[in-house]
Amino acid sequence: MGQFPTNLGEAIEWLASFGGEPDAGVTRTLYTQTWKEAQQALKGWMEETGLLTNYDSIGNLFGRLPSPYSNAQTILIGSHVDTVKSGGKYDGAYGIIAGILALDFLKKQYGQPKINLEVVSFCEEEGSRFPLACWGSGMMTGVYSLRDISTIKDSDGISFETAMMAAGFGISELRVRNDIQTFIELHIEQGPTLEKVEKSIGIVKAIVGQKRFRITVIGESNHVGTTSMKWRRDALHGAINMIHGLYESVKEYDEDLVTSVGQLFVEPNVPNVIPNQVQFTVDARYPNESVLRSFCQEFTVMFETYAKKHDLDIKVEMWHEVQPAQMDRKLNEIIQSICTHSNIPSHWMNSGAGHDAQLFARICPTTILFVPSKGGISHSPLEYTSTQDLEKGMEVLIQLLHQLAYNR
Amino acid sequence: MGQFPTNLGEAIEWLASFGGEPDAGVTRTLYTQTWKEAQQALKGWMEETGLLTNYDSIGNLFGRLPSPYSNAQTILIGSHVDTVKSGGKYDGAYGIIAGILALDFLKKQYGQPKINLEVVSFCEEEGSRFPLACWGSGMMTGVYSLRDISTIKDSDGISFETAMMAAGFGISELRVRNDIQTFIELHIEQGPTLEKVEKSIGIVKAIVGQKRFRITVIGESNHVGTTSMKWRRDALHGAINMIHGLYESVKEYDEDLVTSVGQLFVEPNVPNVIPNQVQFTVDARYPNESVLRSFCQEFTVMFETYAKKHDLDIKVEMWHEVQPAQMDRKLNEIIQSICTHSNIPSHWMNSGAGHDAQLFARICPTTILFVPSKGGISHSPLEYTSTQDLEKGMEVLIQLLHQLAYNR
């Protein structure tokens, strides 16, 4: 290939070369040198295809295929350029690449659109370098401001602001744009659903809400051999019964409700000592906020009732919360009809992971389309989607943009 | 007090001064300088009270009140001089001190016994410095030999043999004594039973058998949000259900059966990742070996069946096993009758912790008597038994030895 890629397969490898190491995946965290090189390379490629480029003040990169109408609004298409540490080639990257190639195709086939088409390469979504996720889309949609990063540092102690300034950004506050009419994101699924149900396109109904809790159960340490079962205040026995109850209660809900205990610490964690403290996390997700809230209230009451009955102390803290985001029904119906007419097998589903699209759902009609992830694996060098599947996603995106920006 | 103590309360404080630190409890691990000073001090006290002393080749200390009959057998009374790190003043120490004071009293009151009375200060029982417990009683009863310590080192890398030689012991193999007719140990309970039932003396029916297992459950890590509950191979969810089943199954047994999960490790132990591995311990104890074995077989089958059904891999390893030891029924009935006649409230119970007595139960009629532990606390600077309770235990011991060694 020349300086810039000419098709999807080439483009994935080309973008992965910025921060990619053999067997170590791609590491391209916010405002680092590889991150800057990737954004600059994307800017060059956008310009090569004839898009009008610009950065905003925090480093989001835009490539615009303008409408001839001066009062035209904008359909924004894109995803994030940053990665987790040792991530895959597709997460984020696919949505930017497919956007650039789609606009290039549409311009060559149909010329100027009636509505501005603009591809965005968001500076940050993963929260991998600094403890703040969806920075790019969060600033664009007015959810974040520069105040939100004033005290944040990376693991080397470098402040967010210092890193941003060093990359050449951050002089001024972002002006929230009022021309965005629609936001569309194309992304790998990062889960096994499409592969399991053997479909090519996931039409996302909602990005689920999340609530994460830290539960601390406190009992009393004693000698395992000399303390009768009936006199124990065993924090782990208590936690086991609570978590067992949690997993039983989820069965009363539909399968969109997922819950997990991913982290659990035992004190003193010695085979022959009755545990005096257990701390565990509960992660609960569902596309409807009121149902999710009532599920969480139910298990909290159940935990507290159990603790009281068994003379254990308990502390329940919610430390992370994300509201569910509903994707636009009309956009999804257009996507469904495109899939049907093009004979591309599709599947309506929720997204259990967070995405830039959930920030835009607050301000404009938004949707996200998924393509399959092999084995459901993501955030790993093993992340993989076949070029055939990537192309089907881009085909649907092109038809969708054609309907939205040329036919109306 | 003078050089040596004259009563129980004094003697507890005196022996605790070897290795005791304010607020840090007593640390007197095998073959250390404080250990050696404690044994030497006990030897001096034994001699002061007129006992004939000697060490065996591994450092067990004996003080003998001999019978005039040359073919007389020996009743051995005692416990261990070593402690855990930052242990209490009573664990082990009480049994030695009460033995010396009992023999002193009996000699002064009744003169020479018909059967030799001998108090022993075992060199080691706790397994705190080296990973080998009941070294003193194990060598005396032929359960251990010098081969068992050939590769053992302490946490500083000092070999067992080097430490033993440096303390002045270990030249020759121990000759197993064939004159021991009876073994009697007086010990603090180290559990809350006597305090809960408000009795002064615990008459021990058996020292329970123990089996300890390490269970490894292996599933698959996945993203919490993007993996439907039905497609998960969640190692922690599996382990929770297994342990819940374990605690349910114990309800079908009598209350002498105790089981505990004291240690549990989760991998990768991250709130938003489904755990791919959980390792936990199961400790099960019961006074009857065949019942204990069948309980362990049941939960092993239950775990394996559950794992198979839920597509999890499982490994069950038994890494520690102690056979139950039955205490002598006739000795216990004499103790019961002494308690009844002296109006001392007693309680028949099992010992859930291991003791030197369980080694002797293999070779001669043996029993162990408990006195209450405040709050059931042991292996801690907070370990406490009132002098009144200590004296009641010694009173029963004196009467028992009088019946066994003078009245027959």
Q: How many CB pairs under 8 A join A and B?
A: 179
* Preferred mutation among A190, A237, A250, A272 to probe B, highest tally of B CBs within 10 A: A272
pLDDT at B375 (0 to 100): 93
Looking at chain B, the whole-number percentage of residues with pLDDT higher than 70 is 99
The 3-class SS string of chain B reads CCCCCCCHHHHHHHHHCCCEECCCEECCCCCCHHHHHHHHHHHHHHHHCCCEEEECCCCCEEEEECCCCCCCCEEEEEEECCCCCCECCCCCHHHHHHHHHHHHHHHHHHCCCCCEEEEEEECCCCCCCCCCCCHHHHHHCCCCCHHHHCCCECCCCCEHHHHHHHCCCCCCCCCCCCCEEEEEEEEECCCCHHHHHCCCEEEEEEECEEEEEEEEEECCCCECCCCCHHHCCCHHHHHHHHHHHHHHHHHHCCCCCEEECCCEEEECCCCCECCCEEEEEEEEEECCHHHHHHHHHHHHHHHHHHHHHCCCEEEEEEEEEECCEECCHHHHHHHHHHHHHHCCCEEEEEECCCCCHHHHCCCCCEEEEEECCHHHCCCCCCCCCCHHHHHHHHHHHHHHHHHHHCCC
Single out the residue of A405, A404, A390, A407 nearest to residue A186, CA to CA.
A390
pLDDT at B1 over 60: no
**Chain A residues lying within 8 Å of B274, measured CB to CB:** 260, 262
Q: Using CB atoms, which residue from A231, A266, A376 is nearest to B222?
A: A376
Task: Please tell me the CATH code under which domain B209-322 is placed.
Answer: 3.30.70.360
pLDDT at B407: 84
Per CB-CB distance under 8 Å, the chain B contacts of A237 are 247, 261
Average confidence (pLDDT) over B90-113 = 98
* Buried/exposed code over A125-151 (b: 16+ C-beta within 10 A; e: otherwise): bbbbbbeebbbbbbbbbebbebeebee
Q: Is the pLDDT assigned to residue B45 strictly greater than 50? A: yes
Please tell me the CATH superfamily of domain A8-207+324-405, with its number.
Zn peptidases (3.40.630.10)
- A32, A129 in Cβ contact below 8 A? yes
Domain ranges of chain B: 8-208+325-405, 209-322
What is the chain B residue with the closest CA to A233?
B260
Our measurement of the distance from residue B185's CA atom to the centroid of its chain's CA atoms, rounded to an integer in Å, reads 11
Average pLDDT over chain B reads 95
CB-based contact A226 B354, cutoff 8 Å:
no
Residue of A226, A234, A259 lying closest to B191 (CB–CB): A226
User: Which tokens go with B233?
Assistant: 């191979």
Contacts of A236 in chain B (CB under 8 A): 261-262, 264
Fold match flag (A8-207+324-405 vs A209-322)? no
B349 phi and psi angles, rounded to 5 deg: -155, 170
pLDDT at A172: 80
* Residue B402 pLDDT > 60: yes
Structure tokens at A261: 């205990």
Among A359, A283, A356, A354, CA closest to A320 = A283
High-pLDDT (> 90) share of chain B, %: 91
Closest alpha carbon within chain B to A282: B271
Q: What pLDDT shows up at residue A408?
A: 65
Give residue-wise pLDDT tens across range B382-396. Answer: 999 999 999 999 999
Distance from CA of B134 to the nearest CA of A (A): 17
Query: Vertex A353, ends A352 and A358: CA angle to 5°?
Result: 100
Q: Which residues contact B252 (CB under 8 A, 6 or more apart)?
A: none
Contact yes or no for B226 and A274 at CB 8 A: no
List the single residue in B with minimal CA-CA distance to A271.
B262
| Range B52-66 average pLDDT | 97
Stretches where chain A sits below pLDDT 50 are 1
d(CA B398, CA B382): 28
B258 contacts in chain A (CB < 8 Å): 224-225, 227-229
Give pLDDT, residue B405: 97
pLDDT of residue A174: 81
Closest alpha carbon within chain B to A263: B269
More confident residue, B167 or B175: B167
Which tens digits make up the pLDDT trace of B308-329? 999 999 999 999 899 999 999 9
Cα–Cα distances (Å) from A266 to A279, B258, B270, B271, in that order, read: 7, 20, 14, 15
pLDDT at position A173: 76
Which pLDDT score, from 0 to 100, does residue A1 have?
Answer: 46
Residues of chain A neighbouring B247 (CB-CB closer than 8 A): 237, 240-241
What per-residue confidence (pLDDT) applies to B272? Answer: 87
Residue B2: the pLDDT is: 60
What CA dihedral angle connects A258, A262, A268 and A270, to 10 degrees?
Answer: 100
- Cβ contact (<8 Å) for A228 and B255? yes
Least confident of A276-280, B71-75, B127-131, B192-196: B127-131
Residues of A in contact with B379 (CB under 8 A): 223
Which pLDDT score, from 0 to 100, does residue B116 have?
Answer: 98
pLDDT at A2: 61
Checking if the pLDDT of B173 tops 80, the result is no
Does 3.40.630.10 match the CATH number of domain B8-208+325-405? yes
- Please, which residues bridge with residue B121 across strands? B61, B79
CA B406 to chain centroid: 30
Please name the residue that has the structure tokens 């910025």.
A18
Nearest CA in chain B to A286: B225
Q: How far, in whole angstroms, is CA A79 from its chain's centroid?
A: 10
Cα–Cα distance, B133 to B37 (Å, whole number): 21
Q: How confident is the model at residue B22 (pLDDT cuts 50, 70, 90)?
A: confident
As a whole number of angstroms, the distance between CA B377 and CA A338 comes to 72
